[in-house]
Structure 1
């Protein structure tokens, strides 16, 4: 069995259940299943990962940059490869390179680069997330208001003709009406509500038209009020919606995260996103977005006026924060980093699980929640030392 490998682990989490002294069987880039210590086929190659925990690779649907590259200014195959490699070091085995509001020309370049990166087999590149430009100026956050505009027919057609299997776009519910959302979702584009000052009723209409959830819950959106529940109220109340959240201790207070987790109506759930910028895996202290300088200080990224501008967060850091600061159990946190974002994107058959037919994307975590090893498509990833 030359192509069959059994990865042995003292502790294994398959996305649903813990297993002791188990192995995941991999053939090529595909998982065949999880077996006990006596279930490894004779003749299979074995890799003993020892102590620690083997778990599904992390899925991040909002990654603006990493390794010194920002998609807005590095919309090339190599730019995307740099971003994916930077985040793989921290356990992310599938991600959506994310374009922050920009011009139509940059948007088209980012779509083309993503298409080329997937054709070139860049490990971890899943598709693209277009965060804007069809947002609310009132809730712009770090997005350049000069580029924010309504969605016209050319914009809609661009989203419908990317040639990509996985496209996510963030829009404001008051800017993009239900009819446009319905056209996008009918064609397989995932729509999330974000950077929106919309009412509860407007957001629920967007969900009813097919929008799947909200982008970075609590941030850049109308808040939960007792008479006006806003975007936050709609997201927590809707059973069909999914919510990304940035657990870095800066974007959302731990108590707010814990309250949201208790309040969220299932089956839609809350999952982790990093909203990471180009600083990940580097010693950079500043960079530019749309000609504006963003400063990095003590893990915080801000514009000159103090506005938060993305995050300096990686996925394993987010997991440590969720378990240690918010108090969520490790298994549920791992689901928030893998299975739930995969379900949000509709790719749970192949991602977010260690199960027959899934891609062989998995991570080995140490007992201290550091990254021991990362595998993408059955291939162990090797990383240059950080400068």
Structure 2
């Protein structure tokens, strides 16, 4: 099988979140969907490969990175991931144009039978689209006082039999829950035992309860700072407990509206190598303003800001992950650390060491960027999936 050789651009990747490789001129060879070699300068030969000069695509200052990994995303291009298989695939394709080669499809709280039907459709879509890693159940086991845009009527404490049915679909990658709910810690153990990731979010948990959940196997904090108690110098809460614990990875929505840029910088400093950029995108991402649904809830999008209809409650975002990357770099995060937070760190969060890195043995997911950090071409498993990935990003409502 003919391989792919991409060369002549700045190559930024990571062996681990804290081991960032930044070569001024690098190259990558991919065969049978896997990275087989990388190098610097002109130390390559075609050897029957399709040869791509990254500098001709990305221009002066072109950059090669691994494909982005979005582990918290509800949809895009007007479509939500609780929709039909065709709608799911179109939304995934929309995010691919923004450099996302692997994606976890997030579902908001809903009745159990509705969730099972949604998971069945996601499983079918995953069979057609290798970029789909699985599903993220963001609820229904969350705190009703901190439910954000979730339907309060759908919320309840975890029930072992119900959770087992959802996990048995084989497509649940992660579950967000509030560990302080009755049965919450037991649910964390059940999720982890099934091979899924237990995430803490939409929670009023104190630091002690958060630590008990981490000890039980929780390893991810869902959209840090949002829908949870703030940090207090005598009451650290879930954010302080997670930031201080090396077992935890912390999501952040870097759109300038969900979290102030100063706090984003503070989080990167407090938890180096453990911050995962996520979009928390809803159907209006890569689409226009207007009226949408997030689950059963009506959402108004105005100037790119999504809120529950008639309120100021944030309802996901219209962010794409490439724009999140550009944002944090413009806010002072070093480029290598920013790229790691959108590639290797989220891949590590879902226990996929073969993703998010351009190292031998990893999946052949690759993006060529121009000097403004706009994706210009995208490959998944060594196959070009977006030929002209110029991102059309509208200004954010804030930031």
Query: TM-score interval w.r.t. the shorter chain?
Result: over 0.9
Question: Which residue, 319, 332, 345 being the options, matches 2:337?
Answer: 332
Aligned-CA RMSD value: 1.8
Q: Tell whether 2:173 aligns with 1:174.
A: no
Shift of 1:28: 2.4
The aligned counterpart of 1:114 is 122
Q: Tell whether 2:69 aligns with 1:86.
A: no
In 2, Cα distance between the equivalents of 1:221 and 1:330? 29
The aligned counterpart of 1:38 is 43
In 1, Cα distance between the equivalents of 2:358 and 2:35? 7
Shift of 1:150: 0.9
Shift of the 64–188 alpha-carbon distance from structure 1 to 2, 3 Å rule, reads same
Q: Tell whether 2:366 aligns with 1:358.
A: no
Q: Secondary structure at the match of 1:154?
A: helix
Of stretches 127-136 and 226-235 in structure 1, the one that deviates more from structure 2 is 226-235
Shift of the 329–83 alpha-carbon distance from structure 1 to 2, 3 Å rule, reads same
TM-score of the superposition, structure 2-length normalised?
A: 0.91
In 1, Cα distance between the equivalents of 2:165 and 2:248? 25
Q: Secondary structure at the match of 2:132?
A: coil
Q: Secondary structure at the match of 2:378?
A: strand
The aligned counterpart of 2:395 is none
Q: Give ranges in structure 2 of 5+ residues lacking alignment.
A: 15-19, 393-399
Which residues in structure 2 correspond to 1:152-167 (within 5 Å)?
Answer: 152-164=159-171, 167=173
In 2, Cα distance between the equivalents of 1:351 and 1:289? 29
CA contact (8 A) 1:170 1:193 kept: yes
Shift of 1:371: 1.1
Which residues in structure 2 correspond to 1:1-387 (within 5 Å)?
Answer: 2-15=1-14, 16-36=20-40, 37-50=42-55, 51=59, 52-72=62-82, 74=83, 76-120=84-128, 122-164=129-171, 167-175=173-181, 176-264=183-271, 269-303=274-308, 304-324=310-330, 326-348=331-353, 350-382=354-386
Q: Secondary structure at the match of 1:373?
A: strand
In 2, Cα distance between the equivalents of 1:270 and 1:380? 29
In 1, Cα distance between the equivalents of 2:296 and 2:118? 18
Shift of 1:182: 1.2
Shift of 1:273: 0.4
TM-score of the superposition, structure 1-length normalised?
A: 0.93
Q: Give ranges in structure 1 of 5+ residues lacking alignment.
A: none
CA contact (8 A) 1:14 1:55 kept: yes
In 1, Cα distance between the equivalents of 2:52 and 2:220? 39
Q: Secondary structure at the match of 1:262?
A: helix
Q: Secondary structure at the match of 1:14?
A: strand
What count of residue pairs does the alignment treat as equivalent? Answer: 378
